[in-house]
């Protein structure tokens, strides 16, 4: 039954009925927040054994005989560098292990380019009208960092296998004012898309007009699968070897969604040339990051295999939640032809494309009934979704039961907004 | 016996004798590093019980019902803000608790002023020929941060009760290009001086020419006493109330030298107006700092009194080390009139003023015999000590026995350098 084919009379009846159902849900006085991709208490509990990993009786001396308790070891303890290196299949001496926030590492990279310049180029604050490419829909905190430093955010459409690489190449290879691009190559935020090998290879083969152009490869979800036998995408570092373009990539990871969102360990992988400058610059702002927490993670996991085993426990918690969202969308909205959505094999989000012009109204209706979603438009630079269509659904935090209620409300709000748009009241 | 009054013959004999003694010490092949103010393993052991403070059975929920394990709570958990507030006698809502590095917080403050501007002023990168005042001798990492952002470092002499405030006032009140000053008000690095109430009051009463001038009040050693009944200096925050100048101060503290140098908790105290901007800007680079480590500290100490009790244990370890240094200087160098030094009541350093023109030579001689000191000149902007005289002695890391050996060597190197300077070979 396509709504658009209904008579005004039928639509008016549906509107009345849907409004009544919405008001009934309002009366339930839900109080739920799905605005951010937060792990649930159930997921956090998976890591509680890590709290017992290091005790007063344990040695806190690294394999290089450095004391985790004291100052120094700026780039991270050798054990932690090896662990991240193993997870990313890169050399340990191309990994810098830091504090609890990969966002902060991204910020650091941009700050260094802005205040001091990279690759021997002028600092960005002395160059004019700079641009940063933003595949859309994308991650609002990424956009905010580039915007903070005055870079113009240029939206680039996402396709089913990654950003539109013709557009990316056109910008990057012809315009020296284009300095970077945000990428979430695996289970992209929010679309859930994993970049195809072809897209990864095209990134690696870019010949930027600007020597200080960098790809910000935020591999936040590289091990966050919810299916068995997930796609194993081409590694950007391997692709770059082929094109001798290693200096173009900053690859970020963290355990924020592996151990604790607030108390994990973040790392950045970059070429030796990039890392030499990055380390020198970071040495101005700190003597070193929390090495005890690095050691705690290393001892808890043992090795990369230990991390992957742990991720299976997350998958067991998350899969049913993704299933609820998808099945509710299938049941409630598919028959009415209302919008489209992704069915990700991992990550933290489901991306819903509402009928054009409905996203803001849907988010507002949800909010008025007690459910906070990511603001409509947040997945676009400057909060501007030209179609007012994309809504990021973050299913990880609520319980399965709460998610049922939320999705019932969500689907109802979609219907209501769509009918409102069609009916001539 | 003043060396300068000796005959050349006597000096030549002394030189021969001292060289022989030096060579004998070289043969001992010492391997010691006193370059940095690192806590000793014995001090770090004092905090090992903290490793058992939080276990898998403990609640990690704050008093405001926030989960330490999840994202958010950018300014720190309420419990930690209260603990630092109590230690500094300031309101908890004027405290921002962050990660493990107060240096990084200082860097953040300067970065924000540089890239975005503070107090409604132009960003520093758009203003020209800016200056930062540096009381000397001072802390090289402070100087490095201001230098990193291109600020010209202006040395200001330290007096026995703090920086020369006539010079400070002259610069700050007449020159709008002066944007900040580094201060270590208690047990100053490296002089050990605690600012007098008069100096603190003069700081608070400054009427800066630049609206975006800030005093970087690094209170790193505010509770690091090694004597009973230490001087209780006037608090800058109390003095500022008198002059309505609260917005002029950023006050930094950390537990780096209370718990673990590499895994402590840092905080900054600032006026509500300053904190509002600081929090907004920090929210671009991170979702929040490690709240579990904040909670670990809070539970370990309980309250400010618990922190002060813990500091007495540090004092018991440190006092004998400071005593060794002072008594060796008194015994070996005072009779010869060789240099002068401070006798601090706390902190991490003893400042030794060598005979003019001898500091570099002394540090080199020590190095050639296996003992690394802070480089001569490091306590001055651009490494330039015009008298080549100041040497920072960091007695905290070596054992008392190793310190004996080191100071024996140090005193011998001072004698050797002084005689070399006087004798006409």
pLDDT in tens, B174-184: 999 999 999 99
Residue A331 DSSP class: I
**Predicted TM-score (pTM) of this structure:** 0.97
Which residues of B, range 27-56, sit inside 8 Å of A by Cβ? 36, 38-39, 41, 44, 47-52, 54-56
Q: What is the pLDDT of residues A123-164, one digit of tens each?
A: 999 999 999 999 999 999 999 999 999 999 999 999 999 999
Measure the CA angle with vertex B424, ends B418 and B425; round to 5°.
100
Residue range A174-200: average pLDDT? Answer: 97
Q: Smallest Cβ distance to B115: which of A69, A149, A263?
A: A149
Q: Give the pLDDT band of residue A178 (cuts 50, 70, 90).
A: very high
| Angle at CA of residue A182, ends A177 and A186, nearest 5° | 150
Report CB contact under 8 Å: A69, B55.
no
Dump pLDDT digits (tens) for A211-246: 999 999 999 999 999 999 998 899 999 999 999 999
Q: Which residues of A259-276 are buried (b: 16+ CB within 10 A; e: fewer)?
A: bbbbbbbbbbbbbeebbe
**Cα B91 to Cα B271: distance, rounded to the nearest angstrom:** 10
Which of A223, A274, A261 has its CA nearest to residue A96? A274
Residue whose structure tokens are 């969500």: A410
Select from B48, B75, B100, B108 the residue whose CB has the most chain A CBs within 10 Å, as the one to mutate to test that interface: B100
What's the mean pLDDT in A281-304?
Answer: 98
Residues 381-410 of B with CB under 8 A from A: none
When pLDDT is cut at 50, 70 and 90, the band that residue A4 belongs to is: confident
Nearest CA in chain A to B288: A262
Q: Is B17 on the interface with A (CB under 8 A)?
A: no
> Does residue A208 sit at the B interface (CB-CB below 8 Å)?
no
CB contact under 8 A, A44 and B67: yes
DSSP state of A121: P
| Whole-Å CA distances, B350 to A387, B399, B417 | 67, 16, 20
- Chain B residue numbers touching A80 (CB-CB < 8 A): none
**Assigned token pair, B358:** 């001898």
ipTM: 0.97
Minimal C-alpha gap between A45 and chain B (Å): 9
Rounded to an integer, what distance in angstroms lies between the CA atom of residue B254 and that of residue B98? 9
Nearest CB to B262; choose among A44, A108, A288: A288
pLDDT at B231: 86
**Sequence-distant (≥ 6) Cβ neighbours of residue A354 within 8 angstroms:** A338, A339, A362, A388, A389, A390, A391, A414, A417, A418
* Rounded Cα–Cα distance for residues B148 and B110 (Å): 10
- Find which of B46, B73, B141, B262 to mutate to test the A interface (most A CBs within 10 Å of its CB): B262
Give me the mean pLDDT over the A198-222 stretch: 98
Q: Tell me the CA distances in angstroms from B139 to B183, B220, B391, one per residue in order.
A: 9, 12, 12
* B-chain residue closest to A76, CA distance: B262
Q: Phi/psi zone of residue B81: left (φ > 0), alpha (ψ -120 to 50 degrees), beta? A: alpha
Q: With cut-offs at 50, 70 and 90, classify the pLDDT of residue A342.
A: very high
pLDDT tens column, A362-376? 999 999 999 999 999
Read off the pLDDT of residues A47-75 as tens digits, 9 standing for 90 and up.
999 999 999 999 999 999 999 999 999 99
Contacts of A256 in chain B (CB under 8 A): 71
B1 touches chain A (CB under 8 A): no
pLDDT of residue B3: 85
> How close A35 comes to chain B (CA, Å)?
12
Query: How many other C-beta atoms are found inside a 10 Å radius of the C-beta of residue A124?
Result: 23
pLDDT value at A269 more than 90: yes
Nearest CA in chain B to A108: B285
Residue A369 to chain B, least CA–CA distance (Å): 23
pLDDT reported for residue A17: 96
Question: Pairing state of beta strands B32-34 and B371-373?
Answer: parallel
Locate all alpha helices (DSSP H) within B89-235, ordered by sequence.
102-115, 140-148, 165-174, 197-204
Give residue for tokens 């100041």.
B390
Interface residue B252 vs chain A (CB under 8 A) = no
Does a cis peptide bond (omega within 30 degrees of 0) precede residue B206?
no
Order of strands, sheet of A390-393, starting from the edge strand that comes earlier in the sequence: A340-341, A350-353, A390-393
- Can you give the pLDDT at residue B424? 84
Task: State the pLDDT confidence band at A1, using cuts at 50, 70 and 90.
Answer: confident
Q: How far is A381 from chain B (nearest CA, A)?
A: 15
Rounded-to-5 percentages of helix, strand, coil across chain B: 45, 15, 40
Chain B residues with beta carbon closer than 8 angstroms to that of A290: 99-100, 262-263, 290, 293
| B-chain residues near A99 (CB < 8 A) | 99-100, 289-290
B144: which chain A residues are within 8 Å (Cβ-Cβ)?
Answer: 284
Residues 6 or more apart whose Cβ sits within 8 Å of residue B286:
A101, A103, A104, A107, B74
pLDDT of residue A382: 97
Closest to B223 in 3D by CA, of B182, B262, B264: B264
> Which residues of chain B make contact with A41, given a CB cutoff of 8 A?
67
| pLDDT at site A5 | 87
**Which residues 76-95 of chain A have a CB within 8 Å of chain B?**
none
Q: Is B280 on the interface with A (CB under 8 A)?
A: no
Average pLDDT, chain B: 97
The model's pLDDT over B106-134, given as tens digits with 9 standing for 90+, comes to 999 999 999 999 999 999 999 999 999 99
pLDDT attached to residue A196: 98
Candidate from B262, B285, B286 with C-beta closest to A69:
B262
Radius of gyration of chain A (CA): 23
Asked if the bond preceding A190 is cis, omega within 30° of 0, the reply is yes
- Distance between CA atoms of B379 and B137, rounded to whole angstroms? 5
For residues B259 and A414, give the distance between their C-alpha atoms in angstroms, rounded to a whole number: 54
- d(CA A123, nearest CA chain B) in Å: 11
Please indicate if any CB of chain B lies within 8 Å of the CB of A243: no
Using the Cβ of A103 and the Cβ atoms of chain B, whether some distance falls under 8 Å is answered with: yes
Best A49, A65, A70, A140 residue to mutate vs chain B (most B CBs within 10 Å): A70
Which residues of A fall within a CB distance of 8 Å from B56?
Answer: 48-52
Residues of chain A neighbouring B55 (CB-CB closer than 8 A): 51-52
Chain segment B255-304, per-residue pLDDT in tens: 999 999 999 999 999 999 999 999 999 999 999 999 999 999 999 999 99
Q: Rounded to a whole number, what is the distance in Å from the CA of A297 to chain B's nearest CA?
A: 14
pLDDT at B4 over 90: no
Closest chain A CA to residue B101: A286
Closest residue in A to B77 (Cα–Cα): A262
Q: In Å, how far are A44, A184, A342, B278 from B71, measured between CA atoms?
A: 11, 20, 25, 19
Residue A295 vs residue A34, higher pLDDT: A295
Q: Could you give the CA distance from residue B300 to residue A267 in angstroms, rounded to a whole number? A: 29
At residue A313 the predicted structure's pLDDT band, cuts being 50, 70 and 90, is very high
A–B: how many Cβ contacts below 8 A?
A: 154
- Which of B40, B290, B296, B299 has the highest number of chain A CBs within 10 A, making it the mutation to test binding with A? B290
Give the pLDDT confidence of A101-113 residue by residue, as tens digits.
999 999 999 999 9
Judge whether A209 and A192 are in contact, CB under 8 Å: no
Choose the closest CB to B70 out of A39, A73, A284: A39
Distance CA B55, CA B300 (A): 12
Contact list, A70 vs chain B (CB under 8 Å) = 38-39, 44, 260-262
CA-nearest of A226, A206, A240 to A311 is: A226
| Token pair 């770059």: residue | A240
Q: From start to end of B200-313, where are the E strands?
A: 214-218, 249-254, 266-270
CA proximity to A347, closest of A204, A223, A239: A223
The percent of residues above 90 in pLDDT, for chain A, comes to 96
Query: Which residue of chain A comes nearest to B397, CA vs CA?
Result: A70
Sequence-ordered list of residues with C-beta below 8 angstroms from that of B170, at least 6 positions apart, any chain: none
SS3 label, residue B90: coil
- The answer to whether the Cβ–Cβ distance between A44 and B256 falls below 8 Å is no
Phi, psi at residue B150, to the nearest 5°?
Answer: 80, 10
**Kind and range of the H or E element at A179?**
strand A178-183
Confidence band for A338, pLDDT divided at 50, 70 and 90: very high
> Which segments of B123-164 are extended strands (E)?
131-136, 152-159, 162-163
* pLDDT tens digits along B28-78: 999 988 888 999 999 999 999 999 999 999 999 999 999 999 999 999 999
Residue the block writes with tokens 């020419």: B209
């Amino acid at each position: 039954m396509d709504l658009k084919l209904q008579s005004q009379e039928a639509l008016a009846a549906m509107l009345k009925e849907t409004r009544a159902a919405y008001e009934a849900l309002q009366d339930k006085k839900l109080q739920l927040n799905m605005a951010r991709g937060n792990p649930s208490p159930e997921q956090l509990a998976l890591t509680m054994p890590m709290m017992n990993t290091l005790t007063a009786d344990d040695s806190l001396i690294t394999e290089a005989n450095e004391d985790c308790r004291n100052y120094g070891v700026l780039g991270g303890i050798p054990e932690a560098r090896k662990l991240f290196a193993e997870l990313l299949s890169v050399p340990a001496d191309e990994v810098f292990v830091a504090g609890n926030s990969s966002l902060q590492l991204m910020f650091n990279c941009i700050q260094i380019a802005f205040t001091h310049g990279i690759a021997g180029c002028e600092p960005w604050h002395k160059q004019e009208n700079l641009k940063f490419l933003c595949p859309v829909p994308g991650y609002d905190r990424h956009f905010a960092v580039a915007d903070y430093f005055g870079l113009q955010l240029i939206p680039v459409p996402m396709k089913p296998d990654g950003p539109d690489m013709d557009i990316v190449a056109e910008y990057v290879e012809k315009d020296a004012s284009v300095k970077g691009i945000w990428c979430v190559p695996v289970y992209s935020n929010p679309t859930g898309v994993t970049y195809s090998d072809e897209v990864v290879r095209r990134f690696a083969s870019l010949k930027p007009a600007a020597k200080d152009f960098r790809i910000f490869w935020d591999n936040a979800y590289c091990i966050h699968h919810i299916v068995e036998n997930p796609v194993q995408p081409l590694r950007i570092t391997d692709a770059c070897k082929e094109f001798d373009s290693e200096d173009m990539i900053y690859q970020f990871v963290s355990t924020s969604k592996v151990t604790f969102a607030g108390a994990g360990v973040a790392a950045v992988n970059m070429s030796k040339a990039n890392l030499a400058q990055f380390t020198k610059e970071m040495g101005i702002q700190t003597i070193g990051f929390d090495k005890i927490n690095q050691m705690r993670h290393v001892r808890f996991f043992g090795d990369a295999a230990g991390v992957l085993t742990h991720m299976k426990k997350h998958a067991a918690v998350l899969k049913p939640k993704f299933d609820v969202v998808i099945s509710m969308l299938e049941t409630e909205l598919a028959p009415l032809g209302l919008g489209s959505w992704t069915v990700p094999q991992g990550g933290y989000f489901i991306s819903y494309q509402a009928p054009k012009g409905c996203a803001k109204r849907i988010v507002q209706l949800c909010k008025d009934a007690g459910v906070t979603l990511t603001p409509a438009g947040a997945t676009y630079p400057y909060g501007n979704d030209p179609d007012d269509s994309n809504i990021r659904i973050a299913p990880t935090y609520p319980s399965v039961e709460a998610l049922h209620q939320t999705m019932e409300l969500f689907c109802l709000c979609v219907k209501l907004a769509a009918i409102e748009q069609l009916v001539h009241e």
